[in-house]
Amino acid sequence: MKALGQHLILELYGCDEAILSSVSDVQDVMLKAARAADATIIDSIFHHFKPYGVSGVIVIAESHFAIHTWPEHKYASLDLYTCGDKTRPWEAFKKVKALFKATHFSVMKMERGLLPK
């Protein structure tokens, strides 16, 4: 079987509350993650919720990176979905973990679009 894509589902805990609260900081981290993955960035949109949280998506030619933050819990959930063999989603994972200053995390990897070779 060959997978059309890889989907990393991340849960980051103990993150820096100030970073998770800032639209510009969250967007900056996600763009750096996309670059670390060697993804082709198409567009991005991010939104700040009152009183807490940021949601956003980076559209990449290879699929998308999405995030929602709960600063009050020092928690962020992310989807790093890439298609093809060019991108390196694990490099994006390392980047977000470091830049959000996560103290612990969980990662689930799903192979998407399993097709016979």
Cα–Cα distance, 29 to 99 (Å, whole number): 6
Distance CA 71, CA 16 (A): 8
- What gap in Å lies between CA 72 and CA 112, rounded to an integer? 32
Residue 73 Cα distances to 17, 45, 76, 91, 105, angstroms? 8, 23, 9, 25, 14
Instruction: Compute the distance between CA of residue 84 and CA of residue 116 in angstroms, rounded to an integer.
Output: 15
Q: What angle do CA 18, 23, 24 make, to 5 degrees?
A: 95
User: What positions carry a catalytic annotation?
Assistant: 63, 68, 83
